[in-house]
């Protein structure tokens, strides 16, 4: 198989989904209305609720959802062969992720920008909301802990990425000032920001920064969590929005470099289409493929971002198609690029099998090394600089997801406090969110490996379960409005079955290996999710049998401090 053909087919499929399927969803299912007054206007507070240019908001949304997972998941899942990963990424992006992300954005914007946790209470019930919040908090905890560890590992393994990683924060703040204070032209601002970013990459490639072994891991992790805590407290337009926007543009440039190299070099995919020579201990493709690749096919975290921050910045309801669905398309292209890098970036099948000698051995390392080989062959960029570009891209995406993840964790803590009759301010909420994630990360020592070894095995299943629960909320809303709910129900049933199946498989493995913390978390997630799914099914039947609800008859959502509002 030639990688160029694989890229062309994949890009055509996901872009076809945007131009055709998303148009149907926008006009016939969600019925987006350009005249609808979004929460960004009706609740504008200049902090979280801010009407935002759809291109800037797309940048925030895309880079918040596209963290390290759409790189790591596909690069691990190709151990079963490139074909299953390719099919799941492309079909999942078109029919699962796009409609899920756009639907969550639409549902939240129609309900004062409330989060999926609050919407579950409104459309499924109070008990469902409490259990939903448990699943959400655990997922966000996993995201923050695991991504901090991924970034730390990349900073240590690729010291040339240190300067561009931290320099990008300064660039983002300046870009924010150029957009909102100085009112500069967006195109000119974009060019200046991207040039500054790539100047930092060149500087970092020439001046690598290595910290003494033993102190590097705790230092980077502590700085990362402190940064994420402070960043999550700032108004979104100061750092979060411009950082995500400029990173989004940078990612598309990096993808352009990767796909351009594929076009010119056309390397052969050395990995088998379906791997019949699996290393010992590799789990079954079904159901593990569908939870190993979460982001890049469908991801519950996207629903949290859509309803947590993006919906509060939506200028027009019709922007939901571009921000939500095209954000999923961007992530699908990133996952496709990861598949190509991890299967065509090796000289021979033997080289590939050497890297994929055991399950989980590929990952972001295979993406960076394989991608650098392709870029070097296609564009002639030195392999070291190619690796710096790809490593910086992966770090910036993981970091922007972490920024948003900590902010969303604070929202969940505030919502949980409200359910218990407590008013939790944003400082306390942030300290709780960061403190718990740091505790998990350092639970296995100063090296901070707890973020991956303790949490990562459950990330994929929890993420997919959350996606199915978000689809359940969307389905209830569509059934109440007597609209076609099949676009939500079909992926809901598939993802729910695969996720529960995977949780049961992992439950047995945790018990056999004596991994008691993971076992307890697995049981909590499984029980909470099944309970919410049962209550959602009851709500769907009730909505299907009940009278049609319209904008005129829909009760106004309760005014609440939860869902992300400030003190």
What digits encode the pLDDT tens for the residues 184-198? 888 899 999 999 999
What digits encode the pLDDT tens for the residues 16-38? 999 999 999 999 999 999 999 99
Ranges 25-34, 354-363, 532-541: which has the least confidence: 354-363
Q: Longest C-alpha distance within the chain, in Å?
A: 67
CA distance 97 to 326: 10
CA distance 242 to 475: 33
CA distance 391 to 165: 10
Q: Please report which confidence band the pLDDT of residue 206 belongs to, taking 50, 70 and 90 as the band edges.
A: very high
Q: Is the pLDDT of residue 561 over 50?
A: no
CA nearest to 153, candidates 384, 394, 402: 394
Residue 354's Cα: distance from chain center in Å? 30
Among the CATH numbers 3.30.230.10, 1.10.579.10, 1.20.1050.40, 1.20.1740.10, which is that of 3-545?
1.20.1740.10
Name, in order, each residue with C-beta under 8 angstroms of 284's C-beta and a sequence gap of 6 or more.
505
Q: Please report which confidence band the pLDDT of residue 457 belongs to, taking 50, 70 and 90 as the band edges.
A: low
Average pLDDT over residues 352-376: 88
Quick one: pLDDT at residue 160? 95
Name, in order, each residue with C-beta under 8 angstroms of 214's C-beta and a sequence gap of 6 or more.
none
Q: Please report which confidence band the pLDDT of residue 565 belongs to, taking 50, 70 and 90 as the band edges.
A: very low
Q: Prior bond to 322 cis, omega within 30?
A: no
- Cα-flanking dihedrals φ and ψ of residue 33, to 5°? -115, 115
Contact 485, 292 (CB under 8 A): no
- Cα-flanking dihedrals φ and ψ of residue 268, to 5°? -75, 145
Show the tokens assigned to 488: 């939500």
Highest mean pLDDT among 266-280, 296-310, 434-448: 266-280
Q: Is 60 helix (H, G, I), strand (E, B) or coil?
A: helix
What digits encode the pLDDT tens for the residues 76-90? 999 999 999 999 999
The pTM of this model reads 0.87
Domain extents in the chain: 3-545
Q: Please report which confidence band the pLDDT of residue 399 belongs to, taking 50, 70 and 90 as the band edges.
A: confident
Quick one: pLDDT at residue 566? 35
Beta bridge partners of 52: 314
Q: Is the pLDDT of residue 563 over 50?
A: no
CA distance 310 to 547: 31
Quick one: pLDDT at residue 454? 63
Residue indicated by tokens 């899942």:
77
Q: Prior bond to 287 cis, omega within 30?
A: yes
CA distance 416 to 419: 5
Quick one: pLDDT at residue 564? 39
Q: Where are the alpha helices (DSSP H) in 66-185?
A: 69-77, 82-91, 98-109, 116-123, 126-157, 162-176
Mean pLDDT of the chain: 89
What digits encode the pLDDT tens for the residues 295-328? 889 999 899 889 988 999 999 999 999 999 999 9
Name, in order, each residue with C-beta under 8 angstroms of 461's C-beta and a sequence gap of 6 or more.
291, 499, 502, 503, 506, 525
What digits encode the pLDDT tens for the residues 233-253? 888 888 888 888 888 888 888
């Amino acid at each position: 198989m030639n990688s160029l053909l694989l890229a062309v087919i994949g890009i055509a499929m996901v872009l076809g989904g945007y131009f055709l399927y998303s148009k149907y969803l926008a006009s016939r299912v969600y019925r987006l209305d350009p005249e609808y007054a979004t929460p960004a206007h009706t609740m504008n507070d200049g902090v979280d609720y801010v009407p935002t240019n759809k291109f800037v908001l797309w940048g925030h949304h895309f880079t918040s959802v596209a963290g390290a997972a759409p790189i790591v998941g596909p690069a691990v899942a190709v151990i079963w062969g490139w074909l299953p990963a390719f099919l799941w990424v492309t079909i999942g992006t078109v029919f699962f992720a796009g409609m899920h992300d756009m639907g969550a954005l639409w549902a939240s914007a129609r309900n004062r920008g409330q989060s999926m946790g609050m919407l579950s209470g409104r459309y499924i019930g109070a008990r469902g909301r409490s259990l939903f919040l448990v699943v959400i908090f655990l997922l966000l905890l996993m995201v923050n802990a695991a991504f901090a560890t991924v970034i730390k590992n990349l900073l240590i393994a690729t010291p040339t990425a240190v300067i561009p990683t931290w320099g990008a924060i300064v660039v983002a703040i300046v870009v924010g000032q150029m957009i909102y204070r100085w009112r500069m032209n967006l195109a000119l601002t974009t060019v200046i920001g991207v040039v500054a970013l790539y100047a930092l990459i060149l500087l970092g490639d020439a001046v690598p920064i290595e910290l003494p072994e033993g102190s590097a891991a705790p230092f980077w992790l502590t700085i990362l969590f402190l940064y994420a805590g402070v960043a999550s407290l700032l108004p979104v337009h100061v750092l979060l929005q411009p950082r995500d926007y400029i990173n989004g543009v940078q990612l598309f440039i990096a993808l352009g470099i990767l796909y351009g190299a594929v076009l010119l070099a056309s390397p052969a995919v050395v990995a088998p289409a379906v791997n019949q020579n699996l290393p010992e201990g590799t789990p079954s493709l079904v159901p593990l493929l569908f939870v190993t690749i979460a982001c890049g096919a469908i991801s519950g975290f996207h629903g949290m971002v859509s309803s947590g921050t993006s919906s509060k910045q939506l200028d027009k309801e019709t922007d939901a198609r571009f921000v939500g669905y095209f954000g999923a398309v961007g992530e699908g292209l990133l996952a496709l690029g990861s598949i190509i890098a991890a299967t065509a970036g090796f000289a021979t099948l033997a080289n590939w099998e050497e890297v994929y000698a055991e399950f989980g051995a590929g990952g972001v390392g295979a993406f960076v090394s394989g991608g650098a080989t392709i870029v070097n062959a296609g564009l002639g960029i030195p392999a070291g600089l190619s690796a710096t570009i790809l490593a910086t891209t992966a770090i910036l995406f993981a970091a922007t997801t972490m920024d948003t993840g900590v902010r969303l964790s604070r929202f969940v803590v505030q919502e949980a406090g409200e359910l218990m009759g407590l008013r939790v301010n944003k400082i306390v909420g942030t300290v709780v969110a960061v403190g718990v994630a740091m505790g998990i990360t350092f639970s296995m020592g100063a090296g901070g490996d707890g973020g991956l070894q303790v949490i990562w095995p459950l990330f994929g299943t929890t993420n997919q379960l959350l996606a199915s629960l978000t689809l359940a909320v969307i389905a209830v809303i569509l059934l109440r409005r007597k609209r076609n709910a099949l676009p939500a129900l079909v992926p809901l049933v598939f993802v729910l079955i695969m996720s529960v199946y995977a949780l049961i498989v992992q439950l047995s493995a945790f018990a056999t290996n004596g991994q008691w913390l993971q076992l307890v978390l697995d049981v909590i997630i499984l029980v909470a999710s099944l309970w919410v799914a049962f209550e959602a099914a009851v709500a769907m039947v009730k909505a299907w049998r009940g009278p049609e609800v319209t904008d005129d008859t829909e009760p106004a959502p309760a005014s609440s401090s939860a869902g992300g509002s400030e003190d």
